[in-house]
Every structure is written in C-alpha cells, then in structure tokens.
Amino acid sequence: MLTVRKSRDSAYTSTITVTTLKTFGNNVTATFGFTFQNQNLSITLKLCDCFKYSWFQTFLKRHSNIISCPIVPGTYIITDCELPPRDFPIPVPNGVSKGLAYFSTGKEIIGGGTITLRNI
C-alpha cells in the first residue's frame, strides 16, 4: 500500500495491490472494523455479498480493475482511492480513527491490513 498527497490542498490517496492465487467468492468472509472515539464498529459479510452495495460497486468501478465476483486468480490494483471512500455509509468523525479489514475462510485468516485515518 502506498499513500500520497499530490499537493498541500489535496486529499491523501492510496494505491493497494493484491495478488490472488485462488478463486474467491462467498467462500471468503470479509470483516471491516473501525475504532473511533472509543467506539468499535464491525461489519462482516461474505465477499460477493459486498457487491450488493452501491457504494462498494461505485468504489471498485472508480478505483480498481475488480469488476465482478467471484474474483479469479490475478493481480488487482486499487488506485488513487481515499480511505474511507467518499460515499462510505458511516461518517468518520474528526480526529484519529483506526480501520481494519481482513479476509478469512472458516477460521483461517488469508489476508488483511490496518490503516490509521486522520480526519480533520
């Protein structure tokens, strides 16, 4: 993951590269969590079920080469995205928040990451 800011007045954007060796669909569970103002929020969905949400589809169309689910083996790039996405349905309060995402099959974690968000 690479995060940059093009100028002082622009938002920070990130580029994320992911390579998969297997096909992933609803055999994978995606968990997204956020901690802000001493409160925790966690959302767990089957991977392909994420595609049912318009904000998720819009985000992928705008920033990635992921076009459908199941996701077949390959290298995928999410480019120039703001985290959290602009149309993310949960407001991120001002201050420092922590975000996480991980992916699992059963009890085995197969990938994930964390990010610190500073919303001013």
What's domain 2-6+15-119's architecture?
A: Sandwich (2.60)
pLDDT value of residue 111? 86
**29 CB contacts (<8 Å, ≥6 apart)?**
44, 45, 46, 47, 103, 104, 105
Residues 104, 118: Cα–Cα separation, whole Å: 27
In tens, the pLDDT along 50-67 reads: 899 888 888 889 999 998
The secondary structure of residue 99, as a DSSP letter, is: E
pTM: 0.69
Cα 10 from Cα 12, distance rounded (Å):
7
Every domain of the chain and the residues it spans: 2-6+15-119
pLDDT band at 120; cut points 50, 70, 90: low
29-38 per-position pLDDT tens digit: 988 887 877 7
